[in-house]
């Protein structure tokens, strides 16, 4: 397992962590001031300053993108809705490509209308079918431009409104069905990174009794991203009260060890939604704390 205690070479900042700092250019500058080598931006933040400007900033500061957030949200009540989702996902793939992101993260969606507070259906099985079909279609396009897709399973408390893929096991079942890898010994070597893999976010999966086994099952080819924060006790808001690494109850280093034993050697991406705490603090303080905790608690 890599030793993170001496530096922060493998720290990436998911730019949602710095939502309190304002626009993406200010966020990127804060990261650059602290020697951050990688970020993972959100589409709304990119759109607010423009794709060209974002690409220029990333180049200017020599930043890598550990991911691009996010595609997905596939389920819809009708053909037109599903087609609109596919169009939007193709645009997300194109944006990820033009920013040279390592992968496009997919938050797959739940019941149609639920995210807006008005669920139009109770059929979670239909939602999962839309997800499967949506990923299949998006994968075909993503393959044509060589952009890996990373399914991010979300904690089951988000099954209705954000994602009806809730465990690494469920995500890997989709990966294997839609993007089978050549069997070992069958000639062609497995790709370093599969076209379809998973994003392991400790906030969503830390509770899973099958976590170690499923990370091992994923293997190097399907481990596309690793997101870290912490689970606070008590958690006051299920969406926007994520903790800084070390402030909660997740054994982050233990989970990282499982990923690394499976061959993962990428960034630890800090992704903290925290409307009442970290988003209220100065960007420099947040980044400095991320660095310190990356060294001591990741």
List contacts with Zn ion (CB under 5 A).
Answer: 201, 227, 271
Write down the least CB distance from residue 107 to Zn ion, Å: 8
Q: Give the nearer residue to Zn ion in terms of CB position, either 230 or 271.
A: 271
Q: Give the nearer residue to Zn ion in terms of CB position, either 137 or 297.
A: 297
| Residue 96: half-sphere exposure toward Cβ, Cα within 13 Å | 29
* Residue closest to 96 by CA, chosen among 57, 140, 54, 129: 54
Q: Give the nearer residue to Zn ion in terms of CB position, either 179 or 271.
A: 271
* CA terminus-to-terminus distance, the chain: 11
Ranges of H-type helices in the chain: 24-33, 43-49, 51-60, 79-98, 124-144, 168-178, 202-205, 211-222, 252-261, 283-297
Write down the least CB distance from residue 80 to Zn ion, Å: 29
Output the CA–CA distances (angstroms, integers) from residue 202 to 153, 243, 249, in the order listed. 10, 11, 11
Q: 109: alpha, beta or left, given left = phi > 0 and alpha = psi -120 to 50?
A: left
Q: Give the nearer residue to Zn ion in terms of CB position, either 175 or 225.
A: 225
Q: Give the nearer residue to Zn ion in terms of CB position, either 31 or 76.
A: 31
Write down the least CB distance from residue 61 to Zn ion, Å: 23
Q: How many angstroms separate the CA atoms of 265 and 182, rounded? A: 22
Q: Give the nearer residue to Zn ion in terms of CB position, either 152 or 247.
A: 152
Q: Give the nearer residue to Zn ion in terms of CB position, either 114 or 272.
A: 272
Determine contact, residues 197/222, Cβ cutoff 8 Å.
Answer: yes
Write down the least CB distance from residue 269 to Zn ion, Å: 7
3-state percent helix, strand, coil for the chain, nearest multiple of 5 = 45, 15, 40
Q: How many angstroms separate the CA atoms of 235 and 248, rounded? A: 9
Q: Give the nearer residue to Zn ion in terms of CB position, either 208 or 271.
A: 271
29 Cβ neighbours under 8 A, 6+ residues apart: none
Q: 182: alpha, beta or left, given left = phi > 0 and alpha = psi -120 to 50?
A: beta
Write down the least CB distance from residue 50 to Zn ion, Å: 24
Write down the least CB distance from residue 271 to Zn ion, Å: 5
Write down the least CB distance from residue 184 to Zn ion, Å: 30
Write down the least CB distance from residue 69 to Zn ion, Å: 8
Q: How many angstroms separate the CA atoms of 131 and 110, rounded? A: 9
């Amino acid at each position: 397992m890599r030793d993170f205690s001496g530096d922060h070479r493998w720290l990436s900042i998911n730019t949602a962590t710095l939502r309190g700092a304002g626009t993406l250019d200010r966020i990127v500058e804060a990261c650059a001031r602290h020697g951050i080598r990688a970020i993972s931006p959100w589409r709304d933040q990119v759109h607010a300053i423009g794709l060209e400007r974002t690409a220029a900033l990333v180049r200017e500061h020599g930043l890598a993108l550990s991911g691009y957030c996010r595609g997905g949200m596939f389920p819809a009540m009708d053909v037109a809705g599903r087609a609109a989702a596919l169009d939007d996902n193709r645009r997300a793939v194109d944006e990820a490509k033009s920013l040279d992101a390592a992968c496009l993260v997919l938050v797959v969606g739940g019941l149609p209308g639920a995210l807006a507070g008005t669920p139009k259906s109770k059929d979670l099985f239909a939602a999962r079918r839309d997800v499967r079909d949506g990923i299949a279609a998006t994968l075909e396009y993503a393959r044509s431009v060589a952009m890996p897709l990373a399914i991010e399973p979300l904690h089951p408390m988000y099954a209705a409104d954000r994602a009806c893929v809730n465990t690494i096991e469920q995500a890997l079942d989709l990966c294997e069905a839609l993007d089978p890898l050549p069997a070992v010994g069958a000639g062609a070597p497995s790709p370093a990174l599969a076209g379809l893999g998973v994003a392991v976010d400790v906030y969503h999966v830390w509770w899973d009794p099958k976590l170690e086994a499923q990370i091992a099952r994923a293997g190097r080819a399907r481990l596309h991203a690793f997101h870290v924060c912490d689970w606070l006790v008590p958690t006051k808001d299920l969406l926007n009260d994520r903790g800084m690494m070390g402030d909660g109850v997740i054994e982050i280093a233990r989970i990282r060890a499982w990923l690394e034993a499976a061959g993962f050697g990428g960034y630890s991406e800090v992704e903290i939604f925290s409307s009442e705490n970290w988003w209220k603090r100065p960007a420099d303080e947040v980044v400095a704390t991320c660095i310190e905790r990356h060294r001591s608690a990741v």
